[in-house]
């Protein structure tokens, strides 16, 4: 029963990192000695996918609000970031989401918000987020084992 509770916490943590937590994603893969590795991946990817899907609709709602438009109009740097991000997303699409989320150490919460504000394909956005998280966790695991092999 503890395993199920820990896996649910991993799921909720990944949903949280997608929506609001500016903390490292995928770090819980290092708990593979205490939990089945496959289940860690399944629950983490499901959590990130769910969080990204919810975030897409939150971003869609936010970009339609008058508050957001007036804030962007008052702050040129916000509009500049949005314009650059929009060009980036239009050029690379969901591949960019995947690559950025697959990069260990890259702040995924901020990038997910930018993609959610600009994107228009919630299912692909969520799937790319989940797959990017799986690759990130795999790279973290490989890196961790590589470092521990160097220093036994």
pLDDT in tens, 59-74: 777 777 778 778 777 8
Q: CA 142, CA 51: separation in Å to the nearest integer?
A: 25
What is this structure's pTM?
A: 0.76
For residue 22, the SS3 value is coil
- Per domain, the residue ranges of the chain are 2-150
Q: 84-139, pLDDT tens digit by residue?
A: 777 877 788 778 778 887 887 777 777 777 777 666 677 888 888 888 888 888 88
Q: CA 133, CA 126: separation in Å to the nearest integer?
A: 11
Hunting for tokens 């990192």 — which residue is that? Answer: 17
44 within 8 A of 11, measured Cβ to Cβ: yes
114 within 8 A of 80, measured Cβ to Cβ: no
């Amino acid at each position: 029963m503890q395993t199920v509770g820990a896996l649910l916490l991993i799921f909720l943590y990944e949903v949280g990192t997608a929506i609001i937590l500016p903390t490292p994603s995928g770090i819980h893969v290092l708990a593979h000695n205490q939990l089945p590795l496959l289940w860690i991946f399944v629950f983490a990817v499901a959590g990130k996918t769910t969080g990204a899907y919810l975030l897409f609709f939150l971003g869609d709602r936010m970009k339609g609000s008058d508050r957001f438009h007036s804030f962007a109009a008052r702050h040129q740097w916000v509009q500049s970031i949005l314009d650059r991000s929009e060009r980036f997303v239009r050029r690379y699409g969901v591949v960019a989401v995947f690559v950025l989320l697959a990069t260990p150490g890259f702040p995924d919460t901020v990038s997910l918000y930018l993609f959610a504000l600009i994107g228009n394909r919630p299912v692909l956005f969520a799937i790319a987020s989940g797959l990017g998280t799986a690759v990130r966790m795999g790279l973290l695991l490989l890196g961790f084992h590589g470092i521990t092999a160097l220093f036994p």
